[in-house]
Amino acid sequence: MRDFRERVIPRQPDNSEIIEALRKGQLEKALRKARAAGTVVCQAEIDGAAKAMLRMGRAGALLAMVGKVDVCLPFDIETLLCRTYEAKDYHTFLKQVHRLGLAEEQQRRVQAAIEAVQRKAPREAMAWRRKFGVGRTDPD
């Protein structure tokens, strides 16, 4: 069987794909497609997509872009962490606090999130305790 991949011509995304991704709240995908097409997404469109994502409860997806994607979001990290914590998405909250190195600033919420995880997933809670160096590390 011959390898066909060398004959495949990569298709450049057009603006409609970028606009559609922004409309659906897929900000990272839209920015990636815009970069591939050599176009620029204006800040107003980025802000609109980010606000829509926050309304849809996707603060964790916005947090995941912080420090990885060169974009200026209309929200600060504290707001996004607060929204993720309030949505009881403790795994994402803990993961992003750890990744961003904000354990000291979020110490109270980190403890509460680990305790909430403890009720449903004791092993995961134990792993988070080890990562953050907090409290007991023995399984119940």
Q: Residue type at 112?
A: A
Query: Residue 73: which region, alpha, beta or left (left: phi > 0; alpha: psi -120 to 50)?
Result: beta
Average pLDDT over residues 60-86: 92
pLDDT of 42 strictly over 70 = yes
Residue 137: the pLDDT is 47
Q: What percent of the chain has pLDDT over 70?
A: 92
Lowest mean pLDDT among 5-14, 25-34, 49-58, 60-69: 5-14
Average pLDDT over residues 36-59: 91
